[in-house]
Amino acid sequence: MARQDGRKVRQMDDLVSGDLVFFDIGGRISHVGVYVGKGRFVHAPNSGGTVRLDDIDGPYWREHFAYGKRLLD
């Protein structure tokens, strides 16, 4: 997937199920998950870690949220 594919979603409140969510950690995009709706997203917290469902509104994720990407309308 090319970097320009999809539509950028700049606000967490505008995310819809299926959007990719990107997080800026240490000045670069270093984490991605899939938004599943109702303020939750699926991700693997670390390499080799268990995939889990977390609240995107938590202070850590809110602080590091960079943008969402909508690939399908």
CA distance 66 to 73: 21
| pLDDT at site 45 | 84
What pLDDT, in 10s, does the model give residues 23-39?
A: 999 999 999 999 999 99
Rg (CA), the chain: 12
Given a contact cutoff of 8 angstroms between Cβ atoms, the answer to whether 9 and 15 are in contact is: yes
Given a contact cutoff of 8 angstroms between Cβ atoms, the answer to whether 70 and 11 are in contact is: no
Fold of 7-70: endopeptidase fold (from Nostoc punctiforme) (3.90.1720)
Spatial neighbors of 24 by CB under 8 A, at least 6 apart, are 30, 64, 65, 66
Please state the pTM of the whole predicted model: 0.88
**Residue-range domain boundaries for the chain:** 7-70
17 vs 1: which has the higher pLDDT: 17
What pLDDT, in 10s, does the model give residues 40-66?
A: 999 998 888 899 999 999 999 999 999
73 vs 2: which has the higher pLDDT: 73
